[in-house]
């Protein structure tokens, strides 16, 4: 503990863990097929923000239950670090699965985090990265994490298959946690991601050429945003608390924290698409309108200017639509209203932590809320 009056960055307590995270993820993704091995590990080479695993690790520490045995007292045969239960002797599979099955699990020396919670952190990053591989195909993105996107580098087919492979390996790792509640939570996330993406294909609840802004417009957007972005964060925070053997109240608090932070996080993402250059973002900027997507800044502008209805209806596809929409949003207070809403959710996230005992990890969770609203990337 630091001497009183000296503040340390609460996120430093998990920074050490993150070094193990990428290494372990790369092991989980090993394939004897050299090309698959390469494509599957492609996005792990670049510096992602690791927001989701960081939240899982912080929540794991913050909900640390003194009655749960520490890793040291877990028998060596614990299902996470023991050899794979799946047979690797299937002749039909050839050598393809070998590297994964040989993977030794690397543990850091942080006794406050259970091995299962560390694995959960890796699983959340795997699911997230799989969704990015698929998302970049759907969005025809050319950059991601400041590098060429996987779809551009290897083609759509390999990018989609690599995403599926990540989900497959995430599923095996999940099964090995031997916790049906956690398995159910993270499997639901995969379905939610697809549901959110489907809602986004439609943009609004009304499928017509000249939709009107109604109260449902924002509700639909927030539901889509929950499914697409907040579901993974909220359910993985919940799963971290479940693995800590937390009381139902603490499990619910972890979920509420993740849900509100996840919504704040995506609202800020939607702002950045309007306000930050592609260079700084490391991925295309202004991409949402080009993709026909109406996000929060535009929806708030639409509330004040009905002209946007026709543009939303035709997904900004006519010449000059994107520029016109940008102009209307810039003249409105759509960005400010979105920022205020993000701030509201971030505060709700912090409020959700009230029954979690004070700790450095809890300070880290609070700090994540501040970072989420202030970020430029």
If one asks whether residue 131 binds ligand FPP (CB under 6 A), the answer comes out as yes
> Applying CB under 6 A, which part among 64-72, 114-122, 138-146, 348-356 lies near ligand FPP?
138-146
Which of the listed partners (Mg ion, ligand FPP, none) does 238 bind, with a CB threshold of 5 to 8 Å by partner kind? Answer: none
Torsions phi, psi of 46, nearest 5?
A: -95, 160
Structure tokens at 243: 């693995």
Residue 240 makes contact with ligand FPP by CB under 6 A: no
Output the smallest distance, CB 120 to ligand FPP, in A: 17
Residue 121 or 251 with smaller CB distance to ligand FPP: 121
Select from 127, 162, 159, 125 the least CA-distant residue to 141: 159
State the CB neighbour count (10 A cutoff) for residue 157. Answer: 10
Residue 15: CB atoms within 10 A of its CB come to 12
Nearer to Mg ion, 218 or 291 (CB): 291
Interaction pattern, residues 278-317, with ligand FPP; x per rule: CB under 6 A: -----x---x------------------------------
Shortest distance (Å) from residue 105 CB to Mg ion = 32
The string of DSSP letters for 51-108 reads HHHHHHHHHHHHT--TTSPPGGGS-TT-TTTSPPSS-S--GGGTTTTHHHHHPPPP--
Closer residue to ligand FPP in complex, CB, 63/234: 234
The 8 Å CB, 24+ separation contacts for 279-284 are 280/376, 280/377, 281/377, 282/143, 282/144, 282/145, 282/146, 282/377, 283/141, 283/143, 283/144, 283/145, 283/146, 284/141, 284/142, 284/143
Backbone angles phi, psi at 320, to 5 degrees: 90, -10
Rounded distance, CA 364 to CA 346, Å?
14
Spatial separation of the C-alpha atoms in residues 143 and 149, rounded to whole Å: 4
From the CB of 164, what's the least distance to ligand FPP, in Å? 8
Of the pair 31, 63, the CB lying nearest ligand FPP is at: 31
Where does this chain touch Mg ion (CB under 5 A) — which range of 138-146, 216-224, 239-247, 270-278?
138-146
With CB under 5 A as the rule, give the number of residues binding Mg ion: 2
Q: Minimum distance from CB of 283 to ligand FPP (Å)?
A: 5
d(CA 211, CA 311): 9
Which residue sits closest to Mg ion, CB atoms considered?
139
Footprint of ligand FPP on 183-202 (CB under 6 A): 190, 193-194, 197
135 binds Mg ion (CB under 5 A): yes
**Which stretches of the chain bind Mg ion, using CB under 5 A?**
135, 139
**Which stretches of the chain bind ligand FPP, using CB under 6 A?**
130-131, 134-135, 138-139, 141, 163, 167, 190, 193-194, 197, 228-229, 283, 287
């Amino acid at each position: 503990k630091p001497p009183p009056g000296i503040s340390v960055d609460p996120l430093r307590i998990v920074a050490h863990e993150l070094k193990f995270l990428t290494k372990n993820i790369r092991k989980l993704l090993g394939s004897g097929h050299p090309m698959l091995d390469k494509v599957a590990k492609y996005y792990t080479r670049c510096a992602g923000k690791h927001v989701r695993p960081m939240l899982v690790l912080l929540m794991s520490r913050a909900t640390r239950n003194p009655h749960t045995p520490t890793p040291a007292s877990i028998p060596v045969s614990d299902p996470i670090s023991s050899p794979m239960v799946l047979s690797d002797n299937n002749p039909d599979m050839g050598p393809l699965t070998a590297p994964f099955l040989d993977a030794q699990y690397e543990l850091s020396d942080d006794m406050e985090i259970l091995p299962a919670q560390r694995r959960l952190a890796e699983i959340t990053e795997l699911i997230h990265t799989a969704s990015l591989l698929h998302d970049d195909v759907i969005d025809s993105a050319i950059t991601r994490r400041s590098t060429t996107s996987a779809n551009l580098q290897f083609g759509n087919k390999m990018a989609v298959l690599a995403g599926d492979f990540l989900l497959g390996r995430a599923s095996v790792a999940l099964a090995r946690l031997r916790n049906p509640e956690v398995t159910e939570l993270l499997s639901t996330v995969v379905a939610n991601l697809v549901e959110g993406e489907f809602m986004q294909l439609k943009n609004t609840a009304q499928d017509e050429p000249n939709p009107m802004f109604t109260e449902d417009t924002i509700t639909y957007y927030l539901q889509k945003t929950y499914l697409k972005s907040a579901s993974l964060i909220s359910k993985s925070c919940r799963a971290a608390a479940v693995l800590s053997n937390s009381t139902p109240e603490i499990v619910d608090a972890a979920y509420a924290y993740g849900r509100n932070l996840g919504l704040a996080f995506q609202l800020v993402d939607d702002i950045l698409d309007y306000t930050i250059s592609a260079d700084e973002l490391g991925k295309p900027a202004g991409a949402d309108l080009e993709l026909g997507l109406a996000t929060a800044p535009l929806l708030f502008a639409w509330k004040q200017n009905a002209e946007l209805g026709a543009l939303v209806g035709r997904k900004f596809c006519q010449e000059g639509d994107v520029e016109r929409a940008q102009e209307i949003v810039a003249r409105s207070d759509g960005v400010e209203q979105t920022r205020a809403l993000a701030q509201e959710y971030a505060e709700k996230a912090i409020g959700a932590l009230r029954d979690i005992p004070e700790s450095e990890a809890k300070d880290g969770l609070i700090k994540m809320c501040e970072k989420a609203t202030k970020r430029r990337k």
